Amino acid sequence: MVTGGRDESDNNGQFFPSFFFLSKTSPGLRFWLCIMLAAVQSGDAKKLAGLMRQDPGFKVNVAQNGYGFTLLHFACQRDSRSAVIPLLLAHPGIDINVKNTDGETPFYYACQFGLPSCVREMVKDSRVKVNEPDNIGYTPLWWAAACGYQDVIEWLIASGREMDLGKPGDVDKTDAIGVAKNHGRTEAVTLLERFKNNPEETRRAMRVELGCLDDVAAEMFALVVFVSDGLLQINDTTTPSPATRYFSIAAQLPLELQMVLCHRVVGSDKEIIPGKDSEVAFKELAGKLW
């Protein structure tokens, strides 16, 4: 029987940090980990950032309890803690795919318990193994489909990562679509079948629906501006292909944005701020190119 839910409880206490477990560590490390964990559990990104600045080399992958939960596991335990995830991911020693005693990664855990904000933060990182199974063989997408977490499935599709719709090892003969059908997750079945038949179109639709293109358009604009600034360094010995690619993109932009780029290319210090119409047009272009 598939269980799971967005319960704000700590699952009957089994994931609470164990003082006796941490007592195996040195007193100094034990005290520091407890402070770190308190910041994570409260979702206090500002406090956690301050603590990390004090000790940038702290042991981020140390298990906090007998179930093998690390700080990143606890961060992915509730959506209200998603703000601290980018800080932990930025730690140079982070093992983003670290597993607890059940073989669950932090990303897997966020998907299993239907936490879209945590999933969104985690899936941004290319190091995340989105199809990594647990000790039994279940995958993150399989759990999201089984529990009918529509918003989680949408973010997984929108991420552009290769999602495994197949069977979860030998433990169950039902794939993600099949288990969704078995549990009456009609919306999940519809979306997954749509993704299976036309993945690129479905991804694009999810990105538009979830507002992903707002970020993409901004990134594209910054990239094109960067390239245009770089054109000032082009000389006779430089291959024309970068410039050709740049201008082929720039030619599709609304006139107002073309003016911005032209002023940058010629070295003008005049600032032109694109209006709302240009922002909309650039967002549409991002949708076509992404």
Give a yes or no: residue 3 inside a domain. Answer: no
1 assigned to some structural domain? no
Question: What does the alpha-carbon distance between residue 164 and residue 175 come to, in Å, rounded to a whole number?
Answer: 9
Same domain for 195 and 60 = yes
> What is the reported pLDDT for 221?
55
Query: Does a structural domain hold residue 132?
Result: yes
**Whether residue 167 is found in the same domain as residue 92:** yes
Q: Could you tell me if 101 and 190 lie in one domain? A: yes
The pLDDT value given to residue 90 = 87
* Same domain, residue pair 76 and 176: yes
- Angstrom distance (rounded) from CA 284 to CA 220: 12
Report the predicted TM-score, pTM, of the whole model to 2 decimal places: 0.67
pLDDT at site 233: 47
Cβ neighbours of 172 (radius 10 Å) = 17
What is the predicted pLDDT for the residue at 203?
A: 86
Whole-number pLDDT of residue 28: 55
Residue 126 in tokens: 């290319």
The residue range of the domain holding 238 is 212-289
Q: What is the pLDDT, as a whole number, of residue 213?
A: 55
Residue 86's CATH number: 1.25.40.20
Domain assignment present for 92:
yes
Together in a domain, 162 and 254: no
Please check whether residues 128 and 38 belong to one and the same domain.
yes
Please report how many Cα atoms fall inside a 13 Å half-sphere around the Cα of residue 182, on the Cβ side: 15
What pLDDT score was predicted for residue 99? Answer: 95
Question: Number of folded domains in the chain?
Answer: 2
Q: Determine the pLDDT at residue 220.
A: 55
φ/ψ of 262, rounded to 5, equals: -65, -45
**In a shared domain, residues 23 and 143:** yes
CA 156 and chain centroid, separation? 9
Same domain, 50 and 157: yes
Does residue 145 share a domain with residue 243? no
CB 70 within 8 A of CB 106: yes
Burial of 253 (0-12, 13-18, 19+ CB in 10 A): buried
Name, in order, each residue with C-beta under 8 angstroms of 163's C-beta and a sequence gap of 6 or more: 130, 131, 141, 156, 157, 195
Q: Residue 165 and residue 147: Cα distance in Å, rounded?
A: 15
pLDDT along the chain (290 residues), means of 10: 48 40 51 84 90 82 84 93 91 92 95 93 89 91 94 90 71 80 94 92 83 57 53 45 54 61 52 51 53
- What is the 3 state secondary structure string of the chain? CCCCCCCCCCHHHCCCCCHHHHCCCCHHHHHHHHHHHHHHHCCCHHHHHHHHHHCCCCCCCCCCCCCCCCHHHHHCCCHHHHHHHHHHHCCCCCCCCCCCCCCCCHHHHHHHCCCHHHHHHHHCCCCCCCCCCCCCCCCHHHHHHHHCCHHHHHHHHHCCCCCCCCCCCCCCCCCHHHHHHHCCCHHHHHHHHHHHHCHHHHHHHHHHHCCHHHHHHHHHHHHHHHHHHHHHHCCCCCCCHHHHHHHHHHCCCCHHHHHHHHHHHCCCCCCCCCCHHHHHHHHHHHHHHC
